[in-house]
Chains A and B, each alone.
Chain A
Amino acid sequence: MTDTQAPPSTATVSIPVKQTPAPLRLLENYALPLLTVLVYIFFSFFPLSAAAFPTVNNLNVILGSQAVIALIAIAALFPLISGYFDFSLGAIAVMAQVMTAGLMSLYGLPLWLSIVISMLLGTLVGVLNGYFVTKLQMSPFVTTLGMSMLLAGLMTWFTGGKTFVSGIDPALIKFGSTRIAGIPLVFFITLIVAAIAWYFFSHTPFGRSLYAIGSNATAAKLVGLPVTKNVWWSFIVAGFIAGGAGVLQLSRVGSASASDGGTLLFPALAAVFLGATAIRPGFFNVWGTIIGAVFVSVSVSGLALSGASGWASNVFNGLALLAAVALSTYLGRRKRRG
């Protein structure tokens, strides 16, 4: 600085900016967890479900069944934050579930090797998805949908249409039904993965760059962020986590048969989009996603125990997904408007 007098600056003028008052903002950030608690209390006292709902056994069902879906939701976060959809994650999970079971049951491989091979396969699918989407610039929507169909077809061929029930290492099943303080072990595993994902998103250049890429990929490239590489990695990480989710699913269910994984993927997407309405409204985030998954599970379980039929859970998942997308789109648009 060579100027002796202060440069003419306009910084001293503070302009009033419309801002949500603090208590309201707090309510907006924590509306979803609050709603989850309210729904839980409601079903605990609702005459039709009061007997079975507020029990340790049911809590075990709620958290256990949702652990796998929450894990897939966390996997989906990686591409979604950078602005890409991955529809193949449900199919990857099913593939890992079927392969782990099949390798033990058909080929007698040891448990650890079956798990390693299955998760590597999941990762490999992520590598392929990332390659197609970044290097070949293929539409992520159609690419991953096609991948999902391809995997479902391959798994039907591998299983021959049968369900693997025998030959699965009982250690895995035992692991899946282990509880700590009444809460299933798999739920803790999901929490640990969530914590690691949170660390990546908030506290590494990689995670921060994913948010930047999702916001404006061209600008991200022009501030020196490795856009192609990081988007590719987001698909790889998603494939890896979805593979792990499949192994956990096998440990909980104890059997495996081929499917397109839609029953895993769509509730997971509902959780992700619900999550974008909480904690950091307008943005996909890890803790919002976990709460979203629990919310869906609490509601579905409450409905089921109140005597609603099987279709009720699908209807609820669908409605939740629609409402969540509407809300997060609205919040996102408001963010951009400022």
Chain B
Amino acid sequence: MSQNPGAAEVTSAAPGTTLAVDVRHLDKDFAGTRALNDASLRVRAGSVHALLGGNGSGKSTTIKILAGVYPADAGDLDIFGTPYDLGAYTPSTAQQAGLRFVHQDLGLFDDLSIEENFALDSGYPRRGTGIDWKGLRARVARLLAEYELDVDPRAPISRLRPSDQTMVAIARALQEQDAEQRQILVLDEPTARLAAHESELLLERVRRRAEAGQTVLIVSHRLREVLAVSDDFTIYRDGRVAAELVAASPTEDELIELMAGRSVRALRPTGDVARADRTPIFSVSGLRGGPVRGVDFTVHRGEILGLTGLVGSGRSSILKMLFGEHAPVSGAMTLDGAPYAPGDVGEAMDAGVAMVPEDRVHEASFMDQSVTENLALATLTENWTRGFMPRGRERDTARTLIAEFGVKVAGPDALFSSMSGGNQQKVVMARWMQRAPRLLLLDEPTQGVDVMSRADLYASIRRAAADGCAVIVASSDLGEIHALCDRTLILSRGRITDDVAAGTLDVDGLTSLVLREKTAPDAPTEATA
């Protein structure tokens, strides 16, 4: 692959040539899909190594194999020169080998003090029959000083600033490191929750730990931040290594090109993008709330509008505010020319809005109820006639919808839980489409759905738009956005940074827009956010 030609000669002083982690020929299949295909990862001891790749490139799978969470199908693993059998590799093997993980969710107990968070991990030091609080406090204070944290060990985690919280999690993960055991710190999306200046603070300190000899492996979407701290880069694409850059300083654009590449697309856009006429159905201006910091847009009749961006960019929050689940802090919305400000989900539904939520299992499924009941729940009051629930008619409606949406199920009385994920999602979609909504909100509509069901779902979404419904699709899957949307808004840290019409950019173009993290122009109203 494109090994940096000058890399071999560069024998920098700090990171040596010994490998801390050396994984080769890694294979992993998930239900017939190849997540990793002869992948490898070589992390030099004492270096900061960035593992990069788009969604589904296999980087998270590799990290989970290293953590012992997933078993690998095949592959060889050496850690600090010691070979490990991947067939018998468990989380405790990873622990013994010296791997320490800090995930996006830090796993800290927010209400407990720093020292207790340390002790819960390493065990409380004992003195006689009690706890040696003094000894614990001294040890934790020493560690905090070492990790440049100027905080009281007795302070609760919740009182720390976000970057300090991450640093505490790092110090806790590495608390048992000593001369006898060198450890490898794996940071999984460490800055996803942090604002720009907070991530800078954090990464500077990580950089200084590396200069002191700490080996660090970072997985991140934020290329610019990674560029600032990393020595080496491994870039994955479609489960293979697309590039390995050792002691290199690539540009952001080079990395994006390596990450996006030519990805295989199972589903292509239909090509007819002119379905939308220019009648605005819904528009919003100055929408703020949660991570959303001032968003304006309009959706037209028959238009499928895409919303995409990195995690935390505010995709889902926008949909939740549109559906009345959360009240926006400020902003005005218009639906069909009339002001629209739903107080709750019921009001949004009465106004003709429907939403398929992101988390199907927790937010849209009534697992122990039948398909008929699952469908009827969105139309209970509408169905209630002469004081009775028409069970027969509900069942007939369910039969019609099952046929129309191509749901594979034993019958209308089968339990919701008896269906596969794709078919459950079709039922959730049918639940809303039977209400003939004016505005349809879809949050990750095909997450965890097989390819055939995905094609059926796309067909239903296009049919809804063709019938005059305005559709907003929030998705992190750019293949989906590209295949489905007439127009796409790119969100970055709560603002719209790009507005892309279908046909002007391919998936790679969209990927680079999302990854580029444009510095959004600071609106003058920033202070009130």
Interface centre among A11, A204, A283 (most CB of B within 10 A): A11
CB pair B387 A209 closer than 8 Å: no
A14 contact set on B, CB distance < 8 A:
408, 410
CB pair A338 B369 closer than 8 Å: no
Interface residues of A in 1-15 (CB under 8 A from B): 1-3, 7-11, 13-15
Q: Given the complex of chains A and B, what is the CA–CA distance between A222 and B349 in angstroms?
A: 10
Question: Residue B389 contacts which of A208, A224, A335, A338 (CB distance < 8 angstroms)?
Answer: A208
CB pair B406 A10 closer than 8 Å: yes
Q: A11-B406, A208-B377, A223-B378 are contacts. A216–B414 as well, Cβ < 8 Å?
A: no
Q: Given the complex of chains A and B, what is the CA–CA distance between A220 and B389 in angstroms?
A: 18
B381 contact set on A, CB distance < 8 A:
205
- Interface size band for A: 35 or more
Chain B residue at minimal CB-CB distance from A205: B380
Q: Given the complex of chains A and B, what is the CA–CA distance between A141 and B369 in angstroms?
A: 25
Question: Residue A2 contacts which of B373, B409, B466 (CB distance < 8 angstroms)?
Answer: B466
Query: B150: CB under 8 A from chain A?
Result: no
Chain B residue at minimal CB-CB distance from A213: B366
A182 contact set on B, CB distance < 8 A:
none
Chain A residue at minimal CB-CB distance from B467: A1
Interface-located stretch among B118-126, B220-228, B451-459: B451-459
Q: Given the complex of chains A and B, what is the CA–CA distance between A55 and B325 in angstroms?
A: 60
Query: A314: CB under 8 A from chain B?
Result: no
CB pair B415 A338 closer than 8 Å: yes
CB pair B459 A7 closer than 8 Å: yes
Question: Residue A221 contacts which of B345, B373, B415 (CB distance < 8 angstroms)?
Answer: B345
* Cβ of B364 to closest chain A Cβ, rounded Å: 5
Q: A209-B380, A222-B355, A224-B346 are contacts. A203–B459 as well, Cβ < 8 Å?
A: no
CB pair A216 B362 closer than 8 Å: yes
A336 contact set on B, CB distance < 8 A:
367-368, 417
Interface string of B376-412 (1 = CB under 8 A from A): 1110110010011100000000000011011111100
CB pair A8 B368 closer than 8 Å: no
Q: Given the complex of chains A and B, what is the CA–CA distance between A11 and B467 in angstroms?
A: 22
Interface residues of A in 281-299 (CB under 8 A from B): 282-283
Chain B residue at minimal CB-CB distance from A202: B389
CB pair B362 A1 closer than 8 Å: no
Query: A215: CB under 8 A from chain B?
Result: yes
Query: A219: CB under 8 A from chain B?
Result: yes
B357 contact set on A, CB distance < 8 A:
222
Question: Residue B363 contacts which of A1, A11, A205, A218 (CB distance < 8 angstroms)?
Answer: A218
B403 contact set on A, CB distance < 8 A:
11
CB pair B408 A212 closer than 8 Å: no
Chain B residue at minimal CB-CB distance from A333: B368
B161 contact set on A, CB distance < 8 A:
none
Q: A11-B407, A335-B415, A337-B417 are contacts. A215–B384 as well, Cβ < 8 Å?
A: no
CB pair B406 A17 closer than 8 Å: no
Q: Given the complex of chains A and B, what is the CA–CA distance between A2 and B416 in angstroms?
A: 31
CB pair B408 A215 closer than 8 Å: no
A224 contact set on B, CB distance < 8 A:
344-346, 348-349, 378
- Across chains A and B, the number of contacting residue pairs, with CB separation under 8 Å, is 118
Q: Given the complex of chains A and B, what is the CA–CA distance between A208 and B463 in angstroms?
A: 31
A212 contact set on B, CB distance < 8 A:
366, 369, 373, 377
CB pair B417 A338 closer than 8 Å: yes
Interface string of B295-309 (1 = CB under 8 A from A): 000000000000000
Chain B residue at minimal CB-CB distance from A19: B410
A1 contact set on B, CB distance < 8 A:
463, 466-467
Query: B365: CB under 8 A from chain A?
Result: yes
CB pair B410 A15 closer than 8 Å: yes
* Cβ of B408 to closest chain A Cβ, rounded Å: 6
CB pair A11 B380 closer than 8 Å: no
Query: A273: CB under 8 A from chain B?
Result: no
Query: A262: CB under 8 A from chain B?
Result: no
B406 contact set on A, CB distance < 8 A:
7, 9-11
Query: A211: CB under 8 A from chain B?
Result: yes
Question: Residue B384 contacts which of A9, A204, A283 (CB distance < 8 angstroms)?
Answer: A204
Chain A binding site: helix, strand, loop or mixed by DSSP? loop
Chain B residue at minimal CB-CB distance from A216: B366
Q: Given the complex of chains A and B, what is the CA–CA distance between A15 and B422 in angstroms?
A: 15
* Cβ of B56 to closest chain A Cβ, rounded Å: 24
Q: Given the complex of chains A and B, what is the CA–CA distance between A221 and B326 in angstroms?
A: 12
Q: Given the complex of chains A and B, what is the CA–CA distance between A220 and B363 in angstroms?
A: 8
Interface centre among A3, A202, A222 (most CB of B within 10 A): A222
CB pair B368 A225 closer than 8 Å: no
CB pair B365 A9 closer than 8 Å: no
Question: Residue B402 contacts which of A11, A218, A283, A332 (CB distance < 8 angstroms)?
Answer: A11
Query: B431: CB under 8 A from chain A?
Result: yes
Query: B418: CB under 8 A from chain A?
Result: yes
Query: A318: CB under 8 A from chain B?
Result: no
Query: A146: CB under 8 A from chain B?
Result: no
CB pair B410 A222 closer than 8 Å: no
Query: A226: CB under 8 A from chain B?
Result: yes
Chain A residue at minimal CB-CB distance from B416: A338
Interface string of A219-255 (1 = CB under 8 A from B): 1111111100000000000000000000000000000
* Cβ of B417 to closest chain A Cβ, rounded Å: 4
Q: A203-B388, A208-B377 are contacts. A10–B452 as well, Cβ < 8 Å?
A: yes
Q: Given the complex of chains A and B, what is the CA–CA distance between A224 and B355 in angstroms?
A: 10
CB pair A219 B456 closer than 8 Å: no
CB pair B456 A10 closer than 8 Å: yes
CB pair B417 A17 closer than 8 Å: no
Question: Residue A219 contacts which of B362, B408, B414 (CB distance < 8 angstroms)?
Answer: B362
* Cβ of A107 to closest chain B Cβ, rounded Å: 41
* Cβ of B181 to closest chain A Cβ, rounded Å: 44
Q: Given the complex of chains A and B, what is the CA–CA distance between A170 and B490 in angstroms?
A: 78
* Cβ of B341 to closest chain A Cβ, rounded Å: 16
CB pair A223 B389 closer than 8 Å: no
A-B contact pairs, 27 of them (CB 8 A): A2-B466, A8-B455, A8-B456, A9-B456, A10-B452, A11-B402, A203-B389, A204-B387, A205-B380, A205-B381, A208-B380, A211-B373, A212-B366, A216-B362, A216-B365, A216-B367, A218-B363, A220-B377, A222-B345, A222-B357, A223-B345, A223-B377, A223-B378, A224-B345, A335-B368, A338-B416, A338-B418
Interchain residue pairs A-B with the least CB separation, the first 6:
A338-B418, A9-B406, A17-B410, A205-B380, A338-B417, A224-B346
A212-B366, A335-B415 known; 17 other A-B pairs, CB under 8 Å? A1-B463, A1-B467, A7-B459, A11-B403, A11-B406, A17-B414, A205-B381, A205-B384, A208-B380, A212-B373, A219-B363, A221-B325, A225-B377, A283-B368, A335-B417, A336-B367, A338-B418
